[in-house]
Amino acid sequence: MDIIYIRDLKIDTVIGVFDWERNITQTISFDIDMATDIRKAAASDDLADTLDYKAVSKRLIDFVSGSEFQLVEALAERICEIIITEFNVPWVRLRLNKQGALRGADGVGVLIERGNKSG
């Protein structure tokens, strides 16, 4: 299986459990690896034959920017569900970085994998 990836996709959203977090937006950064088979697209040179990372990115921006999760775990799980079900991706690895959430650290977050990498 091949991998199509998106790196450092930044999306502003309301996220957090503290009262002050519920009244602001915070920037979340995403690294996404998506399993796919690129051979058909490589042979045809046609966007219709591949996983359209622009469409994935747009869908995630629309979803995340309109969401108001408390936990990064819940947000990460839902993003993986969207990628797998809406884009027919058999396996996804998602790193979610809540930048600035912990003093002294560049960020904190979760790294999850869902699905079957072998397709």
- 3-state percent breakdown (helix, strand, coil) of the chain, nearest 5: 35, 35, 30
**Two tokens, residue 30:** 């995403």
* Helix, strand, or coil (residue 8): strand
Residue 103 has a pLDDT of 86
The secondary structure of residue 71, as a DSSP letter, is -
Domain boundaries, the chain: 2-115
CA distance 86 to 63: 13
The secondary structure of residue 89, as a DSSP letter, is -
54 is catalytic: no
The pTM of this model reads 0.93
Please name the residues in contact with 99: beta carbons below 8 A apart, sequence gap of 6 or more: 26, 27, 28, 29, 106, 107
CATH architecture of 2-115: 2-Layer Sandwich (3.30)
Catalytic residue, candidates 40, 54, 58, 98: 98
Phi, psi of 65 (to 5 degrees): -65, -25
pLDDT in tens, 48-93: 999 999 999 999 999 999 999 999 999 999 999 999 999 999 999 9
The secondary structure of residue 24, as a DSSP letter, is S
